Amino acid sequence: MGRIVVISTGGTIASRWQGSGFAADADGNEVIATAPMPEGVTVEVVDLFSVNSPRLTTAHQLTLLRTVHEVLADPGVDGIVVTHGTDTLEESAFLVDLHHHDARSVVFTGSQRPMGTADGDGPENLYDALLTAANTRGLGVLISFAGRVHAARGTVKTQAVALDAFADPSKELLGKIGFGKVTILRTPQRPEALPLPAMPELPPRVDVVVHHADGDPVLFNAAIAAGARGVVLVGTGAGNATPEIVDAVKAAVEGGVLVALTTRVMAGPVTEIYTHGGAVDLVAAGAVPTGTLRAGQARIAVLSALLGSDDTAERTALLRQTLSAPGSVLVEV
């Protein structure tokens, strides 16, 4: 069925007991040894790093992105599986998807339970990911977890510890896996892939600020003062805040900062309904609405736009490009 390269980055699937808790320390070959292999699949391992995914940096993620492109430069490779910690898996997968122009699948997976446990989910997830990488084409970057296949775009971690950890709350399931077969239920919609970015010596800072009752611009302005070149504002409801925050967004955008607007609500799009500090005013102030992308992936979209150009207008255009997949929901009322 195919030659699959597994890129190992750590996470729970590579974690063992460290005396007071679990942490990643197993290499890729140890992880692979826990799982059965789909018939006809041969596996090669790239040990990229082994860290708990909350510790991942932009530099880690850009290294992963470049490694994926280097592996796919070999036409004999039929697909890639990335083993990854679940905490930031949705961010890394989306970054790779934004820059993925190859028909071959890149499939992210991991586990909710550490390796070596009697009820561990890592072996089955890895088997399913290998099966998915070997049997799918033209779907972009995928997440395979708990017998389900998700598109990278829009998929988030929805369960802190339960095994069925990932979903796209705004869309129907992409596919499912069972009895050695991958069934794809729909085609994900994706924009044109962005060029592979350079590896900057110091990646641009992109912060996330969450609005709440009694929220003011203090934390937003603190991010700007700390050097943020991009900020994701997580609004309430359909993407709302206050007039004071609107003023802060306007000043930041005028200063060349790229501001994206998402919502803390689990499902549904950012929608321009309300004024008096709502999404109507925030978008008018220069914030770019992110549709159904939530904070982690919105941050990755801003990061990719910042890496793509030094020009403020071009960066805004790139951000809008990453959000303009056919069939994506960018609603104006």
Q: Give the active site residues.
A: 12
Q: What is the DSSP letter of 147?
A: T
Residue whose tokens read 């072996």: 123
Distance CA 115, CA 265 (A): 33
Distance CA 39, CA 130 (A): 10
Question: Is the separation of the CB atoms in 167 and 152 below 8 Å?
Answer: no
For 254, 262, 304, the CA distances from 241, given in Å and listed in that order, are 19, 11, 25
Backbone angles phi, psi at 60, to 5 degrees: -55, -50
Distance CA 59, CA 288 (A): 25
Tell me what percent of the chain is helix, strand and coil, each rounded to the nearest 5: 30, 25, 45
Q: Is the dihedral of CA 67, 68, 73, 77 positive or negative?
A: positive
Residues with Cβ within 8 Å of 158's Cβ and at least 6 positions away in sequence, in order, are: 165, 166, 167, 169, 266
Q: Tokens representing 241? A: 């805040």
- Residue 49 exposure: Cα atoms within 13 Å on the Cβ side: 14
